[in-house]
Chains A and B, each alone.
Chain A
Amino acid sequence: MCAVEKATAPAGALPVPGIVAQPQTRVITGNGAAAWAAMLCRPDVVAAYPITPQSEVIEQLAKFHADGVLDCEYVTVEGENSAQNVICGASMAGGRAFSATSSYGLVYMYDAMFNTAGYRAPAVMINVNREPPGIHAVCSGQQDMISVRDTGWVQLIVENTQEIMDMTIMAFRLAEDHDIQLPVIVNYDGYYLSFLAESVEIPSITQVDDYLAPLKAQPPRPQLLPGSNLGCGSHGIGMGYVELRKKHMAAMERVKPKLEEVEAEFSAAFGRSYGGQIEEYRTEDADIVLVTSGSAVGTARTVVDAKRAEGVKVGLVKLRLYRPFPKERIAEALAGKKAVGVLDRSICFGWDCGPLYMETRAATAGDGSAPMLSFIDGLANMDITQDHIAGMIDDIQAAAEGRAYQQVTWLP
């Protein structure tokens, strides 16, 4: 076991590659932002398999690795299922592990995702949202993320390139926190965000080291080492299993306050914040509210401003945390509103509506009978335009005024 001492011995100052020695501003894509952020967090193991529109993330990480900027084990796996098992194994062994995927890649990881979450392996993964069914559906849509919601992973959805950068860094802080110990997915819309180049503030690696430093002060997480009397994956039978499931659920609930805490620390360090579980925009005095997520939020914000200028008292809720679902904050934000609309970029079979609609409705079930409208738009890269959103707001307003409304509307 002498080798273990080598691993835990103080390694001295961490290397600071020149390229990330100083904070900087660069025009990079959403995929680029994810890769830069992952690199800044110094993962021990990266498992990578290409898939459009994610491939740029792992290509950029491979380049960082090849250039000596990223000191990690870079595993070019033969499929996403293996990528998932690699990051789970590396994480259980004690390492920081990262992967990125999309669509079929995500669902190909499905069986193993239950293990990663169930073993409480705090890996971090990027999912670039893309439609799953059909080989030509190589286009944006959030059905992939919806389909893995019950695997026990924490899931976040972000809106723009800067938020991809910032949330990916926060994801490591959140996943590995002693109170959480759960894997985290950061989702962002394929095409709209993966290939959108924007100006991004990139922190220095030392700043990120400092931001993640509180993790080192926490009790060490169990590390599966050869020769140790430890094991993982049995998950017990009978009551042992029930206990682990209940603890997993409790950890998931702790994510809600922890995310706000982690973001407050981030805000203090970098001066940017996003509202935690949800962001409320002009909701305070609003009569009606539109709820949505991802890249559509920017468009929605613009339309809400325009409608406000016309005198419509509309607000916007941006959903950031998808699992656990921020039901308390959603209920609070929507309390007393005259009508609510939810815009989904995916569908919910069996409920004939959008999945975020279904969950938002469940979160506000005790809130009386305010009309609630489901809008399904933006499937398969169909643009969610300002006109579409203006129409949605008109429909919500009409419902608030007591006129007949259609509960589920497919656009365009």
Chain B
Amino acid sequence: MADVRKRQPKVCDYYTSEDGFSPGVAFCSGCVLELNLRFISRVLGPDIIFVGTPSCSAPVLHGQNTMAWHKHAYYACTMTGVASSATGLSRYYEKAGIDATVVCHTGDGCAQDVGFQTLSGAAERNEKMIYVCYDNEGYMNTGIQQSSATPFGASTSTTPTGRASKGKTTGSKNMPMVMAMHEIPYVATATLSHLEDYAKKLVKAKEAAKRGFVYLHVFAPCVPGWKIATDASIQVCRDAVKTNYFPLWEAEDGVFRITQKVKDVKPVEALTSTVGKFKHLKPEQVAILQGQVDQRFRMLQALCAGSAAVEAPAE
């Protein structure tokens, strides 16, 4: 059987349907959110319902952009009510025997800050849904304010640099790990530079959501918010993975596994030097950020080892 070469699946092999979004949707030039939504739509298929809030994705998901829209069922609610509204939908579908994949799609501010209680509650109750948090590290839609996902040192409109300040003074909340500690069926990180990895996780997510709560944390750079070029966002995603700033991993029923092991890890400066919001960082600040990145990665490795995960071959 040695002559049968196993073909690596390509991204398009994971597509189950046509793109549910029309052309011409209103995202900023170079924004990864458009790709994110179209990708979720194509991999998960038409029989889903999106739940979302006022956010960058709202105009497209919930129809303010009325000339270009999508074919999916959707439910829009307040930022405090995403996982709970989705619970209401999901529980009724359960009661009525309706097959459903309820997909929450929110930014980091909603997931980690104002909507965190309800997200944590739904996870604890193991409600059947997929919660996708697209992490652009702040409140980009309202004008680039800091959130609990904003990293150490980053300049935002509420942590601006000035004579007395050098950006955000604390690190970001390690949200995917927080969600993993809820011991839900499936947690994973993903980003738009590694679509095969993301697709596999979406397929697993859809299956796992039949048993309970799924959390996907998607690294999603913001072109104007991060002050990067419109053609740079996918490269920034890649850099975030290559520096271990945003490692790609999953926790399946409590078993942690790094899904994209990076062979030659680059220093975090390879990321920060290309992103405008970090431009002001002094070497000692970069060192602090590097320390946080390393610490988090060691913890992730320890969890992988401790939960007896089998690691993926190096990229």
> Measuring CB to CB, which residues of chain A are less than 8 angstroms from any residue of chain B?
1-4, 6-7, 44-45, 47, 72-73, 75-79, 81-95, 97, 111-112, 115, 224-234, 237
Contacts and interface: CB of A to CB of B under 8 A. Distances in A.
A161 B258 CA distance: 60
Contacts of B48: 226-227
Contacts of A76: 125
Interface stretch (B77-85, B142-150, B219-227, B231-239): B77-85
Contacts of B75: 89, 92, 224, 231-233
A33 B292 CA distance: 56
Interface in B79-117: 80-81, 83-89, 91-102, 117
Given A81-B117, A95-B95, A225-B98, 17 more contacts: A2-B99, A45-B95, A72-B95, A73-B95, A75-B87, A78-B117, A81-B84, A85-B78, A85-B84, A85-B85, A86-B87, A88-B77, A89-B77, A89-B86, A90-B88, A231-B62, A237-B64
A97 B95 CA distance: 12
A177 B88 CA distance: 21
Contacts, number: 163
Nearest to A6: B97
Contacts of A86: 84-85, 87-88, 91
Contact of A227 (B62, B73, B89, B117): B73
Closest 7 CB pairs of A and B: A89-B88, A233-B76, A78-B121, A82-B84, A85-B81, A85-B84, A95-B92
Contact of A115 (B77, B86, B97, B122): B77
Interface of B: 46-49, 62-64, 71, 73-78, 80-81, 83-89, 91-102, 117-118, 120-122, 124-125
Contacts of A87: 88
Contacts of B122: 82
Contact of B98 (A72, A226, A232, A234): A226
Residue among B64, B84, B120 with most chain A CB within 10 A: B84
Contact of A226 (B62, B87, B100, B125): B100
B98 A90 contact: no
A192 B36 CA distance: 55
B81 A112 contact: yes
Contacts of A72: 95
28 contacts: A1-B47, A45-B91, A72-B95, A73-B92, A75-B88, A75-B125, A76-B125, A78-B124, A81-B118, A82-B84, A82-B118, A88-B88, A89-B87, A90-B89, A91-B88, A92-B75, A95-B92, A111-B78, A112-B80, A115-B78, A225-B98, A226-B48, A226-B102, A227-B47, A227-B48, A229-B71, A231-B63, A233-B76
A234 B88 contact: no
Contacts of A227: 46-49, 73
A40 to B, nearest CB: 18
Contact of B89 (A81, A92, A112): A92
B54 to A, nearest CB: 10
B121 A82 contact: yes
A83 B121 CA distance: 11
Contact of A44 (B49, B95, B102): B95
A3 B210 CA distance: 14
Contacts of B81: 81-82, 84-85, 88, 111-112, 115
Nearest to A123: B88
Nearest to A91: B88
A86 to B, nearest CB: 4
A44 B81 CA distance: 20
A398 to B, nearest CB: 51
B77 A85 contact: yes
Contact of A7 (B46, B47, B96): B96
A285 B45 CA distance: 70
Contacts of A78: 117-118, 120-121, 124
B28 to A, nearest CB: 20
A226 B74 CA distance: 8
A226 B88 contact: no
A87 B49 CA distance: 17
A361 B93 CA distance: 47
A85 B88 contact: yes
